[in-house]
Amino acid sequence: MVDSAGKAAHRSSAVAEGWSVPVLFPPQRPRVVVKADLLPAVSVLSTAALLGIPMGWLWSLLAPAERVRVIGTNGQLAPLELESWHRFDDLAVFGFLAMATGLLIGLVVWFLRERRGPVVLVAAAGGALVAAWLGTQMGPAFANSKYSVDAPPALGAVLEQAPRIETGWVVLAAPLVTCLVYALMTAWNGREDLGRRLG
């Protein structure tokens, strides 16, 4: 009786420990491809950077101008009541455009299935950063040409001052959203090679 109970206990412990099947050829984990992705990464970076030109042009159309009054003969300007709020509006509009650009770059780069990986992600984030910086340069240039003053204004005249971007930190919105979108798509994919072999 004791012997049979010992055999049953031994059998149950073997089942609890589990059985392992020997694998002759264990599957290799996919490695990060660097060399083959360098040229596509350069293409991604340069193409994404060009989005800064339409982003700056669109910002110059959407950003509100600040109405100011000429209060001095030497060109001193003072904003009208509540008009100084447009300084924040200009920055917020550019921030939303930068985030939309980062979202677009992240999604498009993700659909390059055969090039998924950290190399193209770094290139996409760099392209988004360059695009946002280019937008901060081109946007005010477009706006200044739109609100240019041909003749010296008279004292007391009300002018529309071109919108401007007063901080450079807003350029970080585009690459941050690009990385966030790519990370979310990577987590949603769940494959070790991110589906590269299915391309």
How many whole angstroms separate alpha carbon 21 and alpha carbon 117? 33
The answer to whether 161 and 66 are in contact (CB under 8 A) is: yes
Q: Which residue from 76, 21, 54 is spatially nearest to 131, judged by alpha carbons?
A: 54
How many whole angstroms separate alpha carbon 110 and alpha carbon 130? 19
Query: pLDDT averaged over consecutive 10-residue blocks of the chain (199 residues)?
Result: 51 51 61 78 96 97 88 72 84 97 96 89 97 97 86 75 91 98 91 69
- The pLDDT of residue 70: 83
- The pLDDT of residue 16: 47
- The pLDDT of residue 14: 46
Q: Is the dihedral of CA 42, 175, 57, 134 positive or negative?
A: negative
- The pLDDT of residue 32: 67
pTM score of the predicted model: 0.78
Domains of the chain by residue range: 34-190
